[in-house]
Amino acid sequence: MSEPLLHITERSLWEAATAWGTYEMSTRGRTLQEEGFIHCSLRRQLPAVAAFLYGSYTGPDDLVVLVIDPDRLAAPIRYEAPEPGAEEFPHIYGPIPVTAVVDVEEWDRGQPRTG
């Protein structure tokens, strides 16, 4: 398996995706259709991404981290920076089949917990 891609989300969104067969949220509050791709990160990038997107999160759901095997994706993956010269992040240009998610980790305010 290539280096896994990670995506943090609300548990209810992931559970809905398991019923539909694909995950199609881009980032907090925005869909793949609205954004054009699904935002992801590498393991070393996850704490900063989670703090930026969910630092003030007080929603009813627990947060989970989807661990995605890029070799199981049909959609293109592009590493892109939000602005010139900035760090590049992986973006998936299509839906994520639930079969590409090889693990779901609990997110505990700064640290993923497997199980």
Q: Could you report the per-residue pLDDT of 4-41, keeping only the tens digit for each?
A: 999 999 999 999 999 999 999 999 999 999 999 999 99
The answer to whether residues 64 and 9 touch, using CB atoms and an 8 Å cutoff, is: yes
- The pLDDT assigned to 60 comes to 74
Q: Nearest Cα to 69, choosing from 26, 102, 105, 44?
A: 102
Domain that holds residue 108: 5-113
* Mean of pLDDT values over 92-107: 97
Q: Is the pLDDT of residue 109 over 70?
A: no
- The pLDDT assigned to 111 comes to 53
pLDDT digits (tens, 9 = 90+) for 64-85: 999 999 999 999 999 999 899 9
Say what the pTM is.
Answer: 0.90
Query: pLDDT grade, residue 1 (50/70/90)?
Result: low
Assigned token pair, 90: 């992986």
What's 51's domain CATH number?
3.20.170.20
The answer to whether residues 38 and 49 touch, using CB atoms and an 8 Å cutoff, is: no
Provide the number of structural domains found in the chain: 1
